[in-house]
């Protein structure tokens, strides 16, 4: 699934785990999409519901704290787009 430069990144990503098809996602592409620490916490907590999600392609948001970024990277394989 792609959310490129999405202005509602936090809202969409926080609601993603509740989508009936979310368990089938294998890859999320989020280049240019900002998200905050609360969204990272929601994605980390949702790992059991996103069981097939292996890759997150995104840039690190400028205002995201180190611990939130490290938590995301420890939970999912995070790759930065070229």
As a three-state string, the secondary structure of the chain is: CECCCCCCHHHHHHHHHHCCCHHHCCEEECCCCCCCHHHHHHHHHCHHHHCCCCEEECCCCCCCCHHHHHHHHHHCEEECCC
Q: Which domains does the chain have, with CATH numbers?
A: 9-79 (3.80.10.10)
d(CA 26, CA 76): 11
Q: Answer whether 0.85 is exceeded by the pTM.
A: yes
pLDDT digits (tens, 9 = 90+) for 6-64: 888 899 999 999 999 999 999 999 988 989 999 999 999 999 999 999 999 999 988 89
Size of the chain, expressed as the number of residues it contains: 82
């Amino acid at each position: 699934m792609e959310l490129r430069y999405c202005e509602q990144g936090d809202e969409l990503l926080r609601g993603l785990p509740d989508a009936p098809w979310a368990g089938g996602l294998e890859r999320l592409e989020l280049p240019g999409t900002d998200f905050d620490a609360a969204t990272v916490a929601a994605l980390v907590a949702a790992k059991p519901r996103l069981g097939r999600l292996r890759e997150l392609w995104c840039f690190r948001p400028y205002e995201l704290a180190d611990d939130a970024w490290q938590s995301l990277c420890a939970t999912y394989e995070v790759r930065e787009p070229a």
